[in-house]
């Protein structure tokens, strides 16, 4: 029988609900929290319909409350909207303004779920924080460090999104689903009669349920970031080839990401892709697939988990996007505190602003953020 209290984040989905069920059955004293992060009425399309996604809807909170009642645990909805907008949404919009491709889910985990929620956990005297992430936590006696491990089900692994967690956060983190498959989770929920057992899951960013990033940015830029006297984020600019030839006109760099193929509006004998975004020139550079490859990148704002710091070159598997397979690479510390990532084989669409996470087998070594570096071409 487990002893102690755990604060568990409950989104109203099958994963967090089943995580709560597993911990309750194990004898933990649970307190459930749902975080009100975004006012969904702001997701209004041109036809005045609200785009409903997997975050902060009344239905989600209703489902979470139903599960909490079924498990007989206290449940609270906490309002973090102001902090979420300031910390996550503003950063998301500003990154697109800089020609970057952000990863808001990583920031949300480290800055909201395992930071802001930790404060709520303290208020209810909980010693640990649990979520429905597919990941695992270990402890290495020799180094005295907590480890972040990939989930047993690699197809559902979410360790990539947790690489910014520090040792204090990992010491308190509990991931009950780390050893299960998605089907095992759903079957457990069905067997115990949870109302969310067959609830679908969103694949989009929670505050942009329709997946239209450009429309979201245009709709929310001024109220979140404020107006600027600089070149407008939405100003038309040139689309150029890698040789500098002007090929077309774009309607704002926020509409483009590295590796993008659709929506370029350029006729060509072979497919073209975005290979670079130059915000200082308000230009989008496009080229053929062969021009997408990069054999290295520079990573900044690193966080180390299995090691205290990087002091010498290290062989790792590097993952440059959440859905991109990891690739063999050597990471080397630089004098300015950044890390050079040298891939064994060139990688396509290495995107500034995205997280680059380093692994050794199942262990997350650490990670950081891909910086814009004009010298990283193949």
Considering the candidates 206, 223, 297, 356, report the single residue annotated as catalytic.
Answer: 206
> Looking at the DSSP assignment, which residues form a beta bridge with residue 367?
303, 357
* Residue 108 dihedral angles phi and psi, to the nearest 5°: -65, -40
Q: Assess whether 356 carries a catalytic annotation.
A: no
Give dist(CA 274, CA 240) in Å, integer: 10
Give dist(CA 205, CA 189) in Å, integer: 25
Burial class (CB in 10 A: 0-12, 13-18, 19+), 139: exposed
Q: Which is it for the CA torsion 186, 189, 190, 195, positive or negative? A: negative
To the nearest 10°, report the CA torsion of 169, 174, 179, 181: -100
Give dist(CA 23, CA 332) in Å, integer: 41
Sheet holding 283-287, edge to edge: 246-250, 237-241, 283-287, 273-278
Residue 76 and residue 32 in contact, taking contact as beta carbons nearer than 8 Å: yes
* Residue 13 dihedral angles phi and psi, to the nearest 5°: -95, 175
Query: Cβ of 65: how many Cβ atoms within 10 Å?
Result: 17
Residue 339 and residue 307 in contact, taking contact as beta carbons nearer than 8 Å: no
Q: Assess whether 105 carries a catalytic annotation.
A: no
Pairing of strands 355-360, 339-348: unpaired
Considering the candidates 55, 56, 108, 297, report the single residue annotated as catalytic.
Answer: 108
Residue 150 and residue 159 in contact, taking contact as beta carbons nearer than 8 Å: yes
Residues assigned a catalytic role: 108, 206
């Amino acid at each position: 029988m487990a002893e102690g209290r755990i604060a568990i984040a409950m989104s109203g989905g099958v994963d967090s609900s089943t995580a709560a069920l597993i911990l309750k059955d194990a004898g933990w004293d649970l307190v459930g929290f749902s975080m009100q992060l975004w006012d969904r009425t702001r997701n209004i399309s041109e036809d005045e319909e609200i785009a409903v996604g997997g975050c902060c809807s009344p239905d989600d909170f209703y489902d979470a409350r139903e599960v909490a009642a079924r498990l007989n645990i206290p449940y609270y909805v906490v309002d973090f909207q102001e902090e979420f907008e300031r910390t996550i949404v503003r950063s998301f919009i500003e990154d697109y303004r800089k020609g970057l491709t952000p990863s808001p889910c990583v920031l949300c985990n480290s800055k909201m779920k395992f930071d802001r929620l930790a404060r709520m956990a303290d208020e209810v005297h909980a010693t640990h924080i649990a979520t429905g992430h597919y990941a695992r936590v270990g402890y290495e006696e020799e180094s005295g460090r907590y480890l972040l491990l990939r989930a047993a089900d690699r197809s559902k692994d979410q360790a990539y999104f947790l690489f910014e967690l520090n040792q204090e956060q990992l010491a308190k983190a509990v991931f009950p689903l780390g050893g299960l498959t998605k089907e095992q989770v759903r079957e457990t929920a069905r067997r115990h009669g949870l109302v969310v057992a067959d609830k679908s899951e969103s694949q989009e960013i929670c505050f942009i349920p329709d997946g239209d990033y450009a429309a979201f940015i245009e709709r929310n830029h001024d109220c979140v970031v404020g107006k600027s006297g600089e070149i407008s984020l939405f100003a038309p600019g040139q689309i150029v080839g890698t040789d500098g030839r002007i090929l077309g006109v774009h309607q704002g760099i926020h509409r483009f990401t590295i590796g993008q193929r659709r929506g370029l509006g350029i006729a060509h004998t072979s497919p073209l892709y975005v290979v670079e975004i130059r915000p200082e020139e308000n230009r989008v550079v496009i080229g053929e697939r062969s021009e997408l490859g990069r054999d290295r990148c520079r990573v900044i704002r690193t966080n180390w988990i299995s090691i205290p710091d990087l002091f010498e070159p290290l062989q790792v598997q590097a993952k440059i996007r959440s859905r991109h397979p990891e690739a063999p690479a050597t990471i080397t510390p630089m004098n300015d505190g950044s890390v050079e990532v040298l891939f064994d084989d060139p990688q396509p669409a290495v995107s500034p602003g995205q997280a680059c996470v380093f692994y050794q087998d199942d262990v997350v070594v650490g990670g950081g953020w891909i910086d814009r570096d004009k010298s990283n071409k193949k």
